[in-house]
Chain A
Amino acid sequence: MGDLLTDAHWGVLLILLPLFGGLCSFLWPSAVKFIGLATVSAVALSVVGLGDQLLATGVYHHAVGGWGAPLGIDLYADGLSLFMLMVTALVGLGVSIYALDYFDQDEARRFWPLWLLLLGGLNALFLSADIFNLYVTLEIVGLAGVGLASLSGGGAALDGAMRYLMATLLGSLCYLLGVALLYHSAGTVDIPLLAERLESTPPVWAALGLICAGLALKTALFPLHFWLPKAHASASAPVSALLSALVVKASFYIFLRLWLEIFSVRTEGVDDLLGALGMAAIIWGSLQALQQTRLKLMIAYSTVSQVGYLFLVFPLAAIGTFSAWSAVAYLVLSHALAKSAMFLVAGNLMHFGGHDRIADLDRAVQRLPITVGAFALAGVSIMGLPPSGGFIGKWLLLNEALNQGRWDLVFVMMIGGVLAAAYIFKVLGFAFTQAPVTHEPKGVPAVMEWSALLLAVAAIVVGFLASPLMLILGIGETVELMGAGQ
């Protein structure tokens, strides 16, 4: 039995299960909730299975069709992939439970097939070792994201979805052109083979520029973030949570993966440029968040600033240390949990009061203590206060910046933390005060309150799990490669 479990193709299951579930939920609309929850749970179990397998045997490697690179496509999972799959499964489970009560039957019929296919696309993305295959998964993620973003209907959501569609298609095309250049430079689209074969030539530089630009647009790195606030703020709450927590991270993961394996040797100046954009994103996003009067827009701008932190890793890791990379993985994890919790909280508050005006939260804390508690806990992680996942991530990053004497980065991170505290305490402040206009509040289903709290608590708890999580991140070649630089 033990052999069967460690030999099973968990990685392949992680892709096929949600896709199959998505088809089934389309075919049997009356059973979507059951099919959806069963699929998401099965995916979460498969991630556990894959984790168990990786801890026992090291990396997972599967040559699709038995051909192997360069002719075929390879699936590949190391610590970083497992980490991303874990984040996806955790957030996905929380949001799925929330969605059970959030959507009415008609909306649920449209939500679940799109979400399950998105989940399949995300898993396929984290498991792919082939840059053209990554393009196809990016398109799955992008189109599913657009479909989900427009789910709630209405002018604002459609406008946001349209901006998102334009941005994501342009990003994909830039990425694809980069892939084409790399293929014709090296005769392969397999990441490990590219790493061996690529030399520093003009086409490779052009490809680097195009791929970075395309993925930065999809990740909403300042100043290419223009599409994000509207798209994320006008979607329905569970969708905003998925988009902010997972979809943005998917393109960042490709960025990170390609950087680590292909482009790391050939980057002079690009890393500093990315760092500078990251710093600008932190300041600009936080200032914008502080000025917002609508809760969901504030949370969306907060995502713009938190994405900035992720890009600070590139100038720091140029010198090549493991702690910089683990810091960024930690930030991805804790931001995904905290941000999805925040959007779910926003959904609860909208359900409760019918609006998301921050100034009119009207003593929500007394009437929705669990929801406001979830917001506060998620806020702790976003601000980077101990004990939380956000604290560990930012602390590791800060440490690295101090060690390398990058005072500019240290300064910006400090400012970013203060600004984050300001916009989060602003919300909490209004949640305690009475609004001038009182209105008739609606009750919020317990499932919606508790699932938001669950994700927020998880964002705190991961702050205590540093050593097992580092162990997971340490699986596989990427880390040896990263560790070699120490």
Chain B
Amino acid sequence: MNSPMIYALLGITLFSVGLYGLIVREHLLRKILALNIMGSGIFLMLVALGKRSAGELPDPVPHAMVITGIVVAVSATALALTLMLKLVEASGSAVLHDAPKDRS
């Protein structure tokens, strides 16, 4: 196994660890961290597999996609954090409760 493949496998492992955290951890800040780790994992896989080319240089297209992705991720993170703060102000809790209030 060559080193790009090792990093690609690290990428999907990070994706899964983030997914695990997103599901298991309840605090919204932790969920936001989890989404960021998932994103990093995808970016890593995308770029690492681009190093399989026979030529000298790695494939630049995934690099550009990842830079796009990093900017999208920081935008979404900033929005999520502000939303979290507002939610805590309004409801006093940084955890989404699943109590079925729908029928009240």
Answer yes or no: A and B touching, Cβ < 8 Å.
Answer: yes
**A contacts, CB < 8 Å to B:** 132, 136, 139, 143, 146-147, 150, 153-155, 158-159, 161-163, 165-166, 169-170, 173, 176-177, 180, 183-184, 229-230, 288, 291-293, 297
Residue of chain A at shortest CB distance from B49: A184
Least Cβ–Cβ distance between B28 and chain A, in angstroms: 7
Chain A residues, Cβ within 8 Å of B12: 177
Complexed CA–CA distance, A166 and B87 (Å): 14
Complexed CA–CA distance, A332 and B86 (Å): 34
Say yes or no: is B1 at the interface (Cβ < 8 Å to chain A): no
Q: Which of B28, B46, B80, B102 has the most CB of A within 10 A?
A: B102
**Do A180 and B84 touch across chains, with their CB atoms under 8 A apart?**
no
Pairs A–B under 8 Å by Cβ, sample size 5: A143-B75, A155-B87, A155-B90, A166-B96, A180-B46
Q: Given A166-B31, A169-B35, do A147 and B96 touch, yes or no (CB 8 Å)?
A: no
Say yes or no: is B62 at the interface (Cβ < 8 Å to chain A): yes
CB < 8 Å A-B pair total: 81
Complexed CA–CA distance, A169 and B39 (Å): 10
Say yes or no: is B67 at the interface (Cβ < 8 Å to chain A): no
Least Cβ–Cβ distance between B6 and chain A, in angstroms: 16
Chief secondary structure at chain A's binding surface: helix
**Do B42 and A173 touch across chains, with their CB atoms under 8 A apart?**
yes
Residue of chain B at shortest CB distance from A185: B49
Say yes or no: is B2 at the interface (Cβ < 8 Å to chain A): no
Count, chain B residues at interface, CB 8 A: 33
Say yes or no: is B79 at the interface (Cβ < 8 Å to chain A): yes
Complexed CA–CA distance, A180 and B65 (Å): 10
**Do A297 and B80 touch across chains, with their CB atoms under 8 A apart?**
no
Say yes or no: is B58 at the interface (Cβ < 8 Å to chain A): no
Complexed CA–CA distance, A469 and B21 (Å): 47
**Do A180 and B103 touch across chains, with their CB atoms under 8 A apart?**
no
Least Cβ–Cβ distance between A134 and chain B, in angstroms: 12
**Do A162 and B90 touch across chains, with their CB atoms under 8 A apart?**
no
**Do A183 and B22 touch across chains, with their CB atoms under 8 A apart?**
no
Least Cβ–Cβ distance between B85 and chain A, in angstroms: 10
Complexed CA–CA distance, A246 and B62 (Å): 31
A159, A180, A288: the one contacting B87 at CB < 8 Å is: A159
Starting from the known contacts A158-B91, A169-B76, A184-B49, 8 additional A-B residue pairs (CB-CB under 8 Å) come to A146-B79, A147-B79, A150-B86, A162-B28, A166-B22, A184-B52, A291-B103, A293-B103
**Do B35 and A136 touch across chains, with their CB atoms under 8 A apart?**
no
Q: Given A147-B79, A173-B39, do A139 and B15 touch, yes or no (CB 8 Å)?
A: no
Query: Top 3 nearest A-B pairs by Cβ distance?
Result: A155-B90, A180-B46, A184-B49
**Do B72 and A155 touch across chains, with their CB atoms under 8 A apart?**
no
**Do B38 and A183 touch across chains, with their CB atoms under 8 A apart?**
no
**Do B42 and A176 touch across chains, with their CB atoms under 8 A apart?**
yes
**Do B83 and A146 touch across chains, with their CB atoms under 8 A apart?**
yes
A146, A153, A177, A297: the one contacting B42 at CB < 8 Å is: A177
Least Cβ–Cβ distance between B33 and chain A, in angstroms: 12
**Do A159 and B96 touch across chains, with their CB atoms under 8 A apart?**
yes
Chain B residues, Cβ within 8 Å of A297: 102
**Do A180 and B83 touch across chains, with their CB atoms under 8 A apart?**
no
Q: Given A162-B96, A173-B35, do A139 and B76 touch, yes or no (CB 8 Å)?
A: yes
Contact flags (1/0) for B27-46 with A, using CB distance below 8 Å?
01001000100110010011
